Amino acid sequence: MNRIFIEDLKNHIDSEVTVQGWVDVRRDHGKLIFIDLRDMTGKVQMVALPNHEDAHKLAETVRPEWVVSVTGKVNARPERMVKEGELNGELEIEVLSIEVLSEASELPFEKDAEVNLDTYLDYLPLTLRTKRGQDIFKVQATIVEAFRDSMRNKKFIEFQSPGLVAGDAEGGAEVFEIPYFNEKTAYLATSPQFYKQIMVGVHERVFTTPRAFRAEKHATTRHLNEYITLDCEFGFIKDHTDVMDVHEQVIKDIVSSVTNEHSKILEVFEVETPLVPEKFPVMKLREAQELIKKETGKDKTNEPDLEPEDERFLCEYSRKNLGSDFIFITHYPVSKRPFYTYEDEEDLGFTKGFDLLYRGVEITTGGQRIHNHDKLVENMKKWKLDPEKFSYYLQTFKYGMPPHGGCATGLERLTQKFLGLASVKEATLFPRDINRIDKRLSE
């Protein structure tokens, strides 16, 4: 008999069906044995009665996470037993026969038990099977796809940015080294920056969603050694505000996809739909610092960057006073940005660059880039980089590049903040940090 998905059972009341999945819970009431079965589409309550002897006997043995194929009859529940608003609350399967596809060992803890983060990560193949684990990564899949759809709607073309690179793009972040062939050294990409600029020369508007790797030694709730970056870059811009406009639309498209497709999940996570105004508020860094000084009394007007507490303050301020969960901060000092960032001719010393803050953290960084070859070479020298090492990248500028810009969003941070998770590691399927690659490395 063909398998029926659990979410479709309501169309099969009074019929005999086969369902397949994992045993979520078994409740043994002696004569009546209740089994909640879980497949990718949801859960259903099944009941094994003594009159179906073989099935009842097997039902006594199954335990959580056993995988079974069950043939049974779909019965409507009596009115007083109906659970309103719950998938299959109006029905129950009377078990006729059970086939065990796979047994499971006893679980180290109740699957839904609250465990500390390290235990959660030690047992990911199991803990991801909770509704919570499934839901986080369903939302993440929707974010990625909404990003791609939004970009394609704006004529951006996807490209595949490499993981192995010959040098470090950013000239700042810690980079992983790889012994390559013939005693050469390769590096793991810290960003697709150079490649997306090269691709602006080819397709004009591009996006890519590669992994980025950073050999940063700190283990915090917002850092990872490997993450997914949602990147775009495009040519023929007026300035960084064109990039901000495109990005704002992309973020709106993502918010709308996630809230449309996953309203129930958002309810369970008890997170509010992001406040999205018609235009995201924009402040220069110095304006933001003046505001912080005025509102909190803390004078940070000489700082070259925002600290985590500043980002949190600005997000709270924006939410309360500007009706937005998102706020752009622009014009960071040239010295705090990479060598390829465009300096604002009308505000010397500051860049046509921006960060987008969301619920207390920076989720996106971007801006206009330098497109003039000689200016880039000059900056490389100022940044103590050897232009000869960048000769491949520099070809792009040698052979004609339009004014262009782009931005990069951390997928895991966006997922974390969207769902209100305590650590970015919960928003990362298989987080890598200084102490862990799947297993703890100290083991």
Could you say whether residue 387 binds a second copy (CB under 8 A)?
no
User: Residue 366: how many CB atoms within 10 A of its CB?
Assistant: 25
Nearer to a second copy, 236 or 383 (CB): 236
Q: Which residues pair with residue 74 across a beta bridge?
A: 93
Binders in 397-436 for a second copy, by CB under 8 A: 397-403, 411, 429-430, 432, 434-435
Q: How many residues bind a second copy (CB under 8 A)?
A: 95
Binders in 225-284 for a second copy, by CB under 8 A: 225-226, 228, 236
CB of 77 to a second copy, least distance (A): 26
Torsion sign (Cα): 317, 323, 329, 330: negative
Could you say whether residue 44 binds a second copy (CB under 8 A)?
no
Nearer to a second copy, 224 or 361 (CB): 224
**Continuous H helices in 15-160:** 53-61, 117-122, 124-127, 131-153
Nearer to a second copy, 94 or 158 (CB): 158
Nearer to a second copy, 44 or 327 (CB): 44
List the one residue out of 206, 192, 1 whose CA is nearest residue 96.
1
The correct pick among 31, 83, 155, 279 for binding a second copy (CB under 8 A) is 155
Nearer to a second copy, 64 or 310 (CB): 64
Could you say whether residue 113 binds a second copy (CB under 8 A)?
no
The 20-39 contact track toward a second copy, x by CB under 8 A, reads x-xx---------------x
According to DSSP, the β-strands at 282-284 and 326-330 are parallel
363: three-class secondary structure by DSSP: strand
Could you write out the DSSP letters of every residue in 55-83? Answer: HHHHHHH--TT-EEEEEEEEEEPPGGG--
List the one residue out of 362, 393, 422 whose CA is nearest residue 120.
422
Give CB contacts under 8 A, 24+ apart, made by 129-134.
129/22, 129/65, 131/268, 132/268
CB of 158 to a second copy, least distance (A): 4
Do the beta carbons of residue 331 and residue 377 sit within 8 Å?
A: no
CB of 359 to a second copy, least distance (A): 22
Do the beta carbons of residue 352 and residue 240 sit within 8 Å?
A: yes
Could you write out the DSSP letters of every residue in 267-306? Answer: HHTT-PPP---SS--EEEHHHHHHHHHHHH----TT-SS-
Binders in 288-317 for a second copy, by CB under 8 A: none
Do the beta carbons of residue 243 and residue 366 sit within 8 Å?
A: yes
Could you say whether residue 326 binds a second copy (CB under 8 A)?
no
The 121-150 contact track toward a second copy, x by CB under 8 A, reads --xxxx-xx---xx--xx-xx--xx--x--
Q: How far apart are CA 24 and CA 65, in angstroms?
A: 6
CB of 395 to a second copy, least distance (A): 4
Q: How far apart are CA 326 and CA 314, in angstroms?
A: 10
Segment holding 219, helix H or strand E: none
Nearer to a second copy, 49 or 173 (CB): 173
Binders in 165-224 for a second copy, by CB under 8 A: 165-166, 176-182, 184, 186, 188, 195, 198-199, 201-205, 210-211, 213, 215, 217
Choose the stretch contacting a second copy; rule: CB under 8 A; options: 99-107, 261-269, 281-289, 340-348: 99-107
Distances (CA, A) of 258 to 202, 253, 361: 32, 9, 20
List the one residue out of 46, 239, 250 whose CA is nearest residue 144.
250
The 52-91 contact track toward a second copy, x by CB under 8 A, reads -------------xxx-x----------------------
Choose the stretch contacting a second copy; rule: CB under 8 A; options: 275-283, 285-293, 322-330, 394-402: 394-402
Binders in 353-382 for a second copy, by CB under 8 A: 371-373
Choose the stretch contacting a second copy; rule: CB under 8 A; options: 151-159, 249-257, 298-306, 319-327: 151-159
Could you say whether residue 11 binds a second copy (CB under 8 A)?
no
List the one residue out of 410, 417, 415 whose CA is nearest residue 427.
415
Nearer to a second copy, 13 or 215 (CB): 215
Nearer to a second copy, 133 or 333 (CB): 133
CB of 4 to a second copy, least distance (A): 12
CB of 270 to a second copy, least distance (A): 22
